[in-house]
Structure 1
Amino acid sequence: MVSNTRINKIGENISARGGKITPEELDELQEFRISFSKPLVNVFNITRELADKVHQSSILAFRLKRIDTIINKLGREKEMDLSRMGDIGGIRCIFYNEAEVYKAKSLIENYFELGGKTRDYVNEIKRDIGYKSIHMYVKDPISKKRIEIQLRTRNHHNWATLIEITDLIYDLRLKELGFESNKKFGQFHALMSSDKELTKNEAELIYEVLDKYNFISVLSETFRKNNAEVKKRWSSENKKNSFFLIEASKSEIPILKSFKTFEEAENAYFEKYKENSSAEIVLTSIKKPNFKQISVAYANYILSYHTFMSDIRPILQVLAIEALEDKKLNKFEKIFKTYEDLIANLILEVISETADLFFNRLDRNKVFIIGRTNKMNKLQEREIIKKIDLKIKEFQKTHLEFVGELEQNIPSSFFKKRRVEKFLKKHNERITNIMLSKEVKFESIIK
């Protein structure tokens, strides 16, 4: 066992060298990390029972802090003793609403001996970030080691993972360095996390980022590219395994590997880290392992799903209506085309997400669906088609309501009115062209 004196010296050395670590120090740091394994699993199992008293469908996951994240934190917080770093072992609990979050907080406080100050970023939003979560530090009843427990709602978790997805896709470090490291994206995420009604200027700043960085298409294409293949990789894993290694990449399909024991998974993680210290790898365990749970808990690694695509639609609709009210037709058409790009991508996501079909190969971004899975019968096929149909009809309903509001604000002058009406009539044609431009081809035997 590495002593606290020695581990603190290693921390000082890493900080003094600007993040450099020797092979001997790396082995000792790894020994220090894995000393939290059993305490982490013990606290996780207890927390899982407490969370079930709050809501049976709560999502729980745990992880040991990544080596590169420990090293980066030492670089930012140079006065910190490594032995006192409170989040080496961490548990994340995701609930439906804030009432459930606070009920879980109360149960945890009543069961565990606390190991540090609880930080409530729900009632006291983290300055300049908008981050919402409760961070608690508890002591493992056996070893007395400190374990961090984070409590979040699904909405707060969605926002937090969106930052990490943005960091990965655009090579940013918003989570680590703060929103000042990229002010535009920082403001964008702060506004997206806000519960308050956006001002006109705030909504326009969101649109500016969407437009400048082609955010909707980049995000949607990343999700669509990964969805089928990651599902295939998940389906090939042993469903009895509870531990998972997930490796994310902005250019490659995420790698997902399951393990029977924590030790096997941790050894695989350490070898991966030594091969590539900058790789985006997390070792985790999920309370109820299934693809949906792991996709929600680690959306920033799986990169196949996020609610952002639906969340942004009403903002674009409001901006388009306001541009038409102001008779800024060029601006209106530009925003409306961004809205159309979103709708086209949402339709493609509905087909790939709702339809539990077998994607047999990806070829230059073209997805070929060749039929149903072996486990699917004709009744299930019809149910899937029905779900897709209902979702698309829902899009149509909200779109017609949106167009109805636009029509009330069409300029009265002859030429402007004719221009807007002609533009809106070509909506379906533009949607079709957008979908064709995505180079997604569906060939299905389902009738």
Structure 2
Amino acid sequence: MANESYEKTKTPLIYSKKQVERAGRCIRKQEGDIEQAVKVIQNFRSAHAYPLTIIKNLVWKHVRSLGLLDTATVARRLKRLPTILDKLQRSSLNGGESCNAIDLRRMQDIGGCRVIVQTKKELEELNASLDTSRTVHESRTYSHLEVAKDSGYRGIHRCYKTYSKKSEHASKGFNIELQLRTKLQHVWATGVEIIDVVENESLKTNPTQANYKWKRLLVIFSEFLAEKDGFIELNSVTSKTLRLELLQLAQDLHAVEKLNSFNRALDVKEISARAKEQGFTLLRFDLKTGNGSASFFPKNREQDAMAKYAELEAELDQDVILIAGRDIKKIEKAYPNYLGDSSTFVSLLAEAITTW
């Protein structure tokens, strides 16, 4: 049963399904009342907060039952508004193979939960445990482990539709995406986001328009990490060939130097101390200056937190994330791009170049 405090922070969806669909089409075609469409999308996104908490709690129970609480990281977040708008407006979502006709209501990842475990064994055990879960939420699983996506991404995605097995529920039919990753897979994925910030690239959101050398570096680096994790095994000739290519790409791009310049923007220790008694923490990263800041809101001021989040997201040079809960250290592990931490990515990249 959901905690009463979560019940109190529910944001109701005040628009009909057809209104949500129309808002998505309005943004995609850039026709009609754009301002109103954005308001509808903001409310639709906010309404995902409670269903997201429900799925996070479900996952947390499995993490606990497997004895992984001390080593695993469980975090959640709502997709940033600019990212939602960008996804709606992209001409294609699959590298140009077909036109983008995505329905806003069918977006899988507006509400996202992330679990980071240490090893391949723990990842497989957690996924298997979730398969056995007796729940009112339907789920579909997509695995990208042995064979990565074209970008080099690896991990498991489980897409939940909340309360779909119930005939009626206020939170019925919300899509929540659960990402399961090993620590090394997570280093790779968040490294992509850091590179996008440092280089003003679109490796994550629009890879067809991104720099080819960065894309190739990430694909090769993913192979190194997958072998280190135990998902694949490469022969010595292939390893040497890839290492030499990776070295050349890193030199051409000045990759290590650029990523090392992405210094820690926020004082995590100070933020953690202040966030202990708060319900929501809003992290802000200025893309122009590289400076970060944090704002705090108690549990009974969720609407104020959401309003400030929406205000900052309207500023194109601001990267912001609203965090529910008080453990910022989990966010430091789950979303290092928001806290300016590229050190692990750089360390592993250097290892791949010199020893692979």
Give, in whole Å, the separation in 2 of the partners of 1:165 and 1:94.
18
Give, in whole Å, the separation in 1 of the partners of 2:297 and 2:338.
17
Partner of 1:120: 143
Deviations 1:159-214 (A, max 9, x none): 00001100110010011122663211101011111134554442233222322332
Rate the CA distance shift 1:200–1:317 in 2: closer, same or farther, 3 A.
same
Indicate which of 296, 311, 317 corresponds to 1:258: 296
Give, in whole Å, the separation in 2 of the partners of 1:208 and 1:270.
42
Preserved contact between residue 230 and residue 256 of structure 1 (Cα < 8 Å): no
Give, in whole Å, the separation in 2 of the partners of 1:41 and 1:95.
20
Partner of 2:189: 160
1:33 lines up with 2:52 in the alignment? no
Amino acid at match of 1:163: V
Structure 1 length normalisation: TM-score? Answer: 0.64
Preserved contact between residue 24 and residue 37 of structure 2 (Cα < 8 Å): no
1:85 lines up with 2:122 in the alignment? no
Count of aligned pairs: 311
Pairwise CA distance, 1:5: 1.0
Rate the CA distance shift 1:180–1:34 in 2: closer, same or farther, 3 A.
closer
Preserved contact between residue 158 and residue 306 of structure 1 (Cα < 8 Å): no
1:53 lines up with 2:65 in the alignment? yes
Give, in whole Å, the separation in 1 of the partners of 2:69 and 2:202.
35
Partner of 1:9: 22
Give, in whole Å, the separation in 2 of the partners of 1:257 and 1:218.
28
Pairwise CA distance, 1:63: 1.1
Preserved contact between residue 132 and residue 156 of structure 1 (Cα < 8 Å): yes
Rate the CA distance shift 1:285–1:306 in 2: closer, same or farther, 3 A.
farther
- Greater Rg over alpha carbons, structure: 1
SS at match of 2:267: helix
Amino acid at match of 1:256: A
Amino acid at match of 2:282: L
Partner of 2:340: 303
Percent of aligned pairs with the same amino acid: 25
Partner of 2:230: none
SS at match of 2:159: strand
Give, in whole Å, the separation in 1 of the partners of 2:345 and 2:85.
31
1:285 lines up with 2:324 in the alignment? yes
Preserved contact between residue 112 and residue 139 of structure 1 (Cα < 8 Å): no
Rate the CA distance shift 1:125–1:212 in 2: closer, same or farther, 3 A.
closer
Pairwise CA distance, 1:114: 4.8
Give, in whole Å, the separation in 2 of the partners of 1:75 and 1:183.
23
Q: What runs of 5+ residues in structure 1 fail to find an aligned partner?
A: 320-447
Pairwise CA distance, 1:15: 0.9
SS at match of 1:134: strand
Q: Which has the higher contact order (CA 8 A, sep 6+)?
A: 2
Equivalent runs, 1:11-410 vs 2, <5 Å: 11-17=24-30, 22-54=34-66, 55-57=68-70, 58-76=72-90, 77=93, 78-109=100-131, 110-126=133-149, 128-141=150-163, 142=169, 143-144=171-172, 145-178=174-207, 181-194=210-223, 195-196=226-227, 197=234, 199-223=239-263, 226=264, 230-231=267-268, 233-234=270-271, 237-250=274-287, 251-261=289-299, 262-274=302-314, 276-277=315-316, 279-285=318-324, 289-291=327-329, 293-318=330-355
Preserved contact between residue 179 and residue 185 of structure 1 (Cα < 8 Å): no
Structure 2 length normalisation: TM-score? Answer: 0.79
Give, in whole Å, the separation in 2 of the partners of 1:285 and 1:236.
15
SS at match of 1:307: helix
SS at match of 1:240: coil
Structure holding more helix per residue:
1
Preserved contact between residue 190 and residue 336 of structure 2 (Cα < 8 Å): yes
Give, in whole Å, the separation in 1 of the partners of 2:355 and 2:181.
29
